[in-house]
Amino acid sequence: LETLAPRMRRVRPSPTAAISDKVRALTAAGHAVVNLGEGELDFATPPHVCAAAVAAIAAGDTKYTAVAGTAALKAAIAAKFARENGLAYDADEIIAGAGAKQLIFNALLATVAAGDEVIVPAPYWVSYPDMVALAEGEPVIVPCRAEDGWKLTPAALLAAIGPRTRWLLLNSPNNPTGAVYSEAELRGLADVLLDHPDVLLLADDIYEHVRYGYAPFATPAAVEPRLRPRTLTVNGVSKGYSMTGWRIGYAAGPAWLIGAMQTLQSQSTSNAASISQAAAVAALEGGLDFMDDWRARLAVRRDIALRAIARIDGLSCPAPEGAFYAFADCSGLIGRRTPAGRVLASDLDVAEYFLDAAHVGVVHGAAFGASPYLRIAYAVDDAVLADAMDRIAVACARLG
């Protein structure tokens, strides 16, 4: 009765969700826990976006829509790509879904045959390898080095490509490292891909607007137009507009691929919520003026986290260029002993110690394919963040 399908052996529950569950349990038990494990902004969704959702309900915009998104949302997405990325897409080259996550999953499910390889540079977003595995593919994890800014090099890409390579998954700004690929770096990777015409490229641009430098944002399909016919550019409103709960992501790519993703979506979840789609139109058409303030506030938080990390013996972290995570090296804490006498043998041990001793949730680097590191999500209130970092410092000082 309780036998699961064999494919369930290929997937693990999200490790970030496991930390969040433990945080909730401690909170329910009355502890003041700070969760620096969750990948979302604490800013409210902009009011004009919320107003558009309320208006959609009032207008009776509450029924099924076209599977790949309303005409209005597709037009807003096309305009966004043209305006912000210099990319022109027709309606049949665009799809909206319930988050970037659903679109990445559908893209892989639609294209990966059993045994096909998908190149996943590490550190990676936790879901990539499991999604590849669920599609019966083989994730080929390519470790990137902190000395290289955590970025995939053309040489490492070339070495990873084999006869069964189907996709390269690229994520910039990166979760968990905050690394941002420059146009020149993407150019170097594109040159390798041009020699391998059978490899598809997925550009996960979900953190596009969360960057701290002044360098323009670069996305592969725009950097190398010859890659455009085999590039799926994925984006969404979750991170940039603080709309994680609305569940709207979108993707643009060749019509054959978008069509297949639409077929999968039509037989599984159908359209994303009509009300959320209306809200996403308002977000995409509403301008980015508020973003300057958000970036400035996030930069302050990034500095609070980085300054605290620099003061803690055993932790270190270079300044991330984007997203809202500090990916801190915790090798200096490995082998140290807790007041209870437990030796910290891994980054998971360190994360558990921080949760137990400091009541601060962070995610261990192993979840992202790099150890020993900790991902500290700093998109929380300044004072809360400063307090959490103080508590971590105290917990570290108590190590033997």
R_g (Cα) of the chain, nearest Å = 21
> Among residues 166 and 239, whose Cβ is nearest to ligand PLP?
239
> Among residues 206 and 312, whose Cβ is nearest to ligand PLP?
206
> Among residues 162 and 270, whose Cβ is nearest to ligand PLP?
270
Q: Assess contact for 239 and 68: CB atoms under 8 A.
A: no
Provide, rounded to whole angstroms, the least separation between the CB of residue 188 and ligand PLP.
21
Provide, rounded to whole angstroms, the least separation between the CB of residue 278 and ligand PLP.
17
Provide, rounded to whole angstroms, the least separation between the CB of residue 243 and ligand PLP.
8
> Among residues 158 and 366, whose Cβ is nearest to ligand PLP?
366
Applying CB under 6 A, the residues found at the interface with ligand PLP are: 39, 99-101, 125, 171, 175, 204, 206, 236, 238, 244, 249
Q: Assess contact for 235 and 251: CB atoms under 8 A.
A: yes
Distance CA 358, CA 194 (A): 50
> Among residues 166 and 375, whose Cβ is nearest to ligand PLP?
375
Distance CA 150, CA 122 (A): 8
Q: Assess contact for 91 and 74: CB atoms under 8 A.
A: yes
**Bridging pattern class, strands 249-252 and 360-361:** unpaired
Provide, rounded to whole angstroms, the least separation between the CB of residue 175 and ligand PLP.
4
Distance CA 114, CA 133 (A): 9
> Among residues 249 and 365, whose Cβ is nearest to ligand PLP?
249
Provide, rounded to whole angstroms, the least separation between the CB of residue 247 and ligand PLP.
7
Q: Assess contact for 81 and 233: CB atoms under 8 A.
A: yes
> Among residues 96 and 358, whose Cβ is nearest to ligand PLP?
96
Q: How far is CA 133 from CA 206, 258, 374, in A?
A: 22, 21, 25
Provide, rounded to whole angstroms, the least separation between the CB of residue 342 and ligand PLP.
31
Beta strands (DSSP E) in the chain are 34-35, 94-97, 117-122, 138-143, 165-171, 200-204, 231-236, 249-252, 325-329, 360-361, 363-364, 373-377
Provide, rounded to whole angstroms, the least separation between the CB of residue 280 and ligand PLP.
11
Provide, rounded to whole angstroms, the least separation between the CB of residue 37 and ligand PLP.
12
> Among residues 211 and 359, whose Cβ is nearest to ligand PLP?
211
Distance CA 278, CA 275 (A): 5
Residue with nearest beta carbon to ligand PLP: 99
Distance CA 149, CA 172 (A): 12
Distance CA 329, CA 335 (A): 14
